[in-house]
Structure 1
Amino acid sequence: MSEPCAVETQVQVCHRCLMRLEASAGGVDLPRRIRATLAVHGQAVSVSLTGCLGGCPVGRVSVQLRREGDVSEVVLLDPARDGAELLAHLPCPSAETP
Protein backbone atom coordinates (compact mmCIF):
# COMPACT_ATOMS: atom_id res chain seq x y z
CA MET A 1 0.00 0.00 0.00
CA SER A 2 1.27 3.49 -0.80
CA GLU A 3 1.59 6.50 1.50
CA PRO A 4 -1.59 8.58 1.87
CA CYS A 5 -1.85 11.58 -0.42
CA ALA A 6 -1.57 14.96 1.32
CA VAL A 7 -4.43 16.47 -0.70
CA GLU A 8 -7.93 15.77 0.68
CA THR A 9 -10.32 15.03 -2.17
CA GLN A 10 -14.08 15.21 -2.02
CA VAL A 11 -15.99 12.84 -4.31
CA GLN A 12 -19.50 14.07 -5.11
CA VAL A 13 -21.78 11.31 -6.37
CA CYS A 14 -24.98 12.17 -8.24
CA HIS A 15 -27.92 11.03 -6.13
CA ARG A 16 -30.21 10.93 -9.17
CA CYS A 17 -27.87 8.51 -10.99
CA LEU A 18 -27.73 6.24 -7.94
CA MET A 19 -31.51 6.09 -7.72
CA ARG A 20 -31.80 5.25 -11.44
CA LEU A 21 -29.55 2.19 -11.18
CA GLU A 22 -31.07 -1.25 -11.08
CA ALA A 23 -31.12 -2.71 -7.56
CA SER A 24 -28.73 -5.46 -8.66
CA ALA A 25 -26.05 -2.77 -9.32
CA GLY A 26 -25.98 -1.94 -5.60
CA GLY A 27 -26.25 1.82 -6.09
CA VAL A 28 -27.13 2.70 -2.50
CA ASP A 29 -23.89 1.08 -1.34
CA LEU A 30 -21.70 2.66 -4.06
CA PRO A 31 -20.43 5.64 -2.00
CA ARG A 32 -19.01 3.27 0.64
CA ARG A 33 -17.45 1.06 -2.03
CA ILE A 34 -15.85 4.11 -3.72
CA ARG A 35 -14.35 5.21 -0.40
CA ALA A 36 -12.99 1.69 0.24
CA THR A 37 -11.50 1.34 -3.27
CA LEU A 38 -9.69 4.67 -3.07
CA ALA A 39 -8.49 4.05 0.51
CA VAL A 40 -6.76 0.84 -0.58
CA HIS A 41 -4.72 2.99 -2.99
CA GLY A 42 -3.75 5.52 -0.28
CA GLN A 43 -6.20 8.25 -1.30
CA ALA A 44 -7.80 10.36 1.44
CA VAL A 45 -11.34 11.01 0.25
CA SER A 46 -14.70 11.99 1.58
CA VAL A 47 -17.71 10.85 -0.42
CA SER A 48 -21.00 12.72 -0.43
CA LEU A 49 -24.16 12.79 -2.51
CA THR A 50 -25.03 15.79 -4.64
CA GLY A 51 -27.78 16.83 -7.02
CA CYS A 52 -27.81 16.18 -10.75
CA LEU A 53 -24.47 16.82 -12.46
CA GLY A 54 -26.04 17.31 -15.88
CA GLY A 55 -25.60 13.87 -17.38
CA CYS A 56 -27.82 10.92 -16.66
CA PRO A 57 -26.13 7.96 -18.33
CA VAL A 58 -28.04 4.69 -18.28
CA GLY A 59 -26.24 2.15 -16.09
CA ARG A 60 -23.51 4.64 -15.06
CA VAL A 61 -23.08 7.14 -12.22
CA SER A 62 -21.91 10.73 -12.65
CA VAL A 63 -19.21 11.80 -10.18
CA GLN A 64 -17.30 15.05 -9.71
CA LEU A 65 -14.07 15.49 -7.75
CA ARG A 66 -13.31 18.58 -5.66
CA ARG A 67 -9.92 19.33 -4.16
CA GLU A 68 -8.39 22.54 -2.86
CA GLY A 69 -11.09 24.65 -4.52
CA ASP A 70 -10.67 22.98 -7.91
CA VAL A 71 -13.51 21.06 -9.53
CA SER A 72 -12.83 18.27 -12.02
CA GLU A 73 -14.80 17.31 -15.06
CA VAL A 74 -17.67 14.90 -14.52
CA VAL A 75 -16.47 11.29 -14.55
CA LEU A 76 -18.87 8.48 -15.48
CA LEU A 77 -18.46 5.41 -13.27
CA ASP A 78 -19.37 1.83 -13.89
CA PRO A 79 -20.92 0.79 -10.53
CA ALA A 80 -19.41 -2.70 -10.87
CA ARG A 81 -15.87 -1.23 -10.73
CA ASP A 82 -16.47 0.47 -7.33
CA GLY A 83 -14.86 3.76 -8.38
CA ALA A 84 -11.59 2.37 -9.79
CA GLU A 85 -11.97 4.77 -12.75
CA LEU A 86 -11.36 7.68 -10.35
CA LEU A 87 -7.76 6.65 -9.63
CA ALA A 88 -6.58 8.19 -12.91
CA HIS A 89 -8.24 11.52 -11.97
CA LEU A 90 -6.73 11.90 -8.49
CA PRO A 91 -3.81 14.21 -7.68
CA CYS A 92 -1.56 11.44 -6.31
CA PRO A 93 -2.06 8.44 -8.57
CA SER A 94 -0.93 5.09 -7.24
CA ALA A 95 1.54 2.91 -9.08
CA GLU A 96 -1.11 0.19 -8.72
CA THR A 97 -3.69 2.04 -10.86
CA PRO A 98 -5.73 -0.57 -12.80
Structure 2
Amino acid sequence: MSQGRGREPWLQMCHRCLMRLEPKAGGVDLPRRVRATLAPHSPRGSVAVSLTGCLGYCPEGRVSVRWLGEPTAPEVVGIDPMKDGVELVAHLRGSETEER
Protein backbone atom coordinates (compact mmCIF):
# COMPACT_ATOMS: atom_id res chain seq x y z
CA MET A 1 0.00 0.00 0.00
CA SER A 2 2.92 2.36 0.58
CA GLN A 3 4.42 1.62 -2.84
CA GLY A 4 5.63 4.66 -4.71
CA ARG A 5 5.96 6.76 -1.55
CA GLY A 6 9.67 6.06 -1.09
CA ARG A 7 10.93 7.27 2.27
CA GLU A 8 8.55 10.23 2.48
CA PRO A 9 6.82 10.32 5.88
CA TRP A 10 3.24 9.18 5.50
CA LEU A 11 0.42 10.13 7.87
CA GLN A 12 -3.09 8.69 7.87
CA MET A 13 -5.86 10.92 9.20
CA CYS A 14 -9.30 9.71 10.25
CA HIS A 15 -11.97 11.06 7.91
CA ARG A 16 -14.69 10.36 10.45
CA CYS A 17 -12.95 12.54 13.07
CA LEU A 18 -12.63 15.37 10.54
CA MET A 19 -16.34 15.27 9.78
CA ARG A 20 -17.21 15.41 13.49
CA LEU A 21 -15.23 18.59 14.15
CA GLU A 22 -16.94 21.90 14.72
CA PRO A 23 -16.78 24.16 11.64
CA LYS A 24 -14.48 26.64 13.41
CA ALA A 25 -11.83 23.90 13.56
CA GLY A 26 -11.77 23.80 9.73
CA GLY A 27 -11.72 20.01 9.49
CA VAL A 28 -11.99 19.84 5.72
CA ASP A 29 -8.84 21.93 5.33
CA LEU A 30 -6.87 20.22 8.13
CA PRO A 31 -4.91 17.72 5.96
CA ARG A 32 -3.47 20.58 3.88
CA ARG A 33 -2.60 22.59 7.01
CA VAL A 34 -0.89 19.58 8.63
CA ARG A 35 1.17 18.96 5.46
CA ALA A 36 2.23 22.63 5.44
CA THR A 37 3.20 22.49 9.13
CA LEU A 38 5.20 19.27 8.87
CA ALA A 39 6.93 19.68 5.49
CA PRO A 40 9.71 22.04 6.68
CA HIS A 41 10.61 19.54 9.44
CA SER A 42 10.64 16.44 7.22
CA PRO A 43 13.95 14.99 6.03
CA ARG A 44 12.45 14.84 2.50
CA GLY A 45 10.81 18.27 2.63
CA SER A 46 7.30 16.84 2.34
CA VAL A 47 4.81 14.67 4.19
CA ALA A 48 2.04 12.62 2.59
CA VAL A 49 -1.30 12.87 4.37
CA SER A 50 -4.11 10.53 3.38
CA LEU A 51 -7.60 10.11 4.76
CA THR A 52 -8.70 6.76 6.13
CA GLY A 53 -11.65 5.23 7.93
CA CYS A 54 -11.99 4.97 11.69
CA LEU A 55 -8.72 4.20 13.45
CA GLY A 56 -10.49 2.91 16.57
CA TYR A 57 -9.53 5.88 18.74
CA CYS A 58 -12.17 8.62 18.79
CA PRO A 59 -11.01 11.54 20.94
CA GLU A 60 -13.68 14.21 21.33
CA GLY A 61 -12.66 17.47 19.64
CA ARG A 62 -9.47 15.94 18.27
CA VAL A 63 -8.46 14.02 15.14
CA SER A 64 -6.95 10.52 15.16
CA VAL A 65 -3.78 10.11 13.11
CA ARG A 66 -1.32 7.27 12.51
CA TRP A 67 2.17 7.31 10.98
CA LEU A 68 2.87 4.59 8.43
CA GLY A 69 6.14 3.38 6.96
CA GLU A 70 7.97 3.54 10.27
CA PRO A 71 10.14 0.68 11.58
CA THR A 72 8.06 0.46 14.77
CA ALA A 73 4.38 -0.43 15.12
CA PRO A 74 2.16 2.49 14.09
CA GLU A 75 0.59 4.28 17.04
CA VAL A 76 -2.73 6.11 16.80
CA VAL A 77 -2.74 9.50 18.51
CA GLY A 78 -5.21 12.36 18.72
CA ILE A 79 -4.13 15.82 17.56
CA ASP A 80 -5.66 19.20 18.30
CA PRO A 81 -7.09 20.51 14.98
CA MET A 82 -6.45 24.11 16.04
CA LYS A 83 -2.67 23.45 16.23
CA ASP A 84 -2.35 22.21 12.62
CA GLY A 85 -0.22 19.20 13.54
CA VAL A 86 2.49 20.97 15.56
CA GLU A 87 2.36 18.06 18.06
CA LEU A 88 3.70 15.77 15.32
CA VAL A 89 6.88 17.74 14.59
CA ALA A 90 8.79 15.92 17.34
CA HIS A 91 8.08 12.61 15.58
CA LEU A 92 9.69 13.87 12.37
CA ARG A 93 12.73 15.14 14.23
CA GLY A 94 13.07 11.73 15.88
CA SER A 95 12.95 10.00 12.48
CA GLU A 96 15.61 12.33 11.12
CA THR A 97 17.97 11.55 14.01
CA GLU A 98 17.47 7.78 13.55
CA GLU A 99 18.49 7.96 9.87
CA ARG A 100 21.88 9.52 10.68
When normalised by structure 2's length, the TM-score is 0.78
The number of residues matched between the two structures is 88
Query: Structure 1 unaligned runs (5+)?
Result: 1-5, 94-98
Match of 1:14 in 2: 14
Aligned-residue Cα RMSD (Å) equals 1.9
The AA in structure 2 aligned to 1:21 is: L
SS in structure 2 at match of 1:18: helix
SS in structure 2 at match of 1:29: helix
In proportion to residue count, which structure has more strand?
Answer: 1
In proportion to residue count, which structure has more helix?
Answer: 2
Give % identity: 62
* Cα contact 2:12–2:67 (8 A) shared by 1: yes
Match of 1:30 in 2: 30
Query: Structure 2 unaligned runs (5+)?
Result: 1-5
When normalised by structure 1's length, the TM-score is 0.80
Moved over 3 A (4+): 68-71
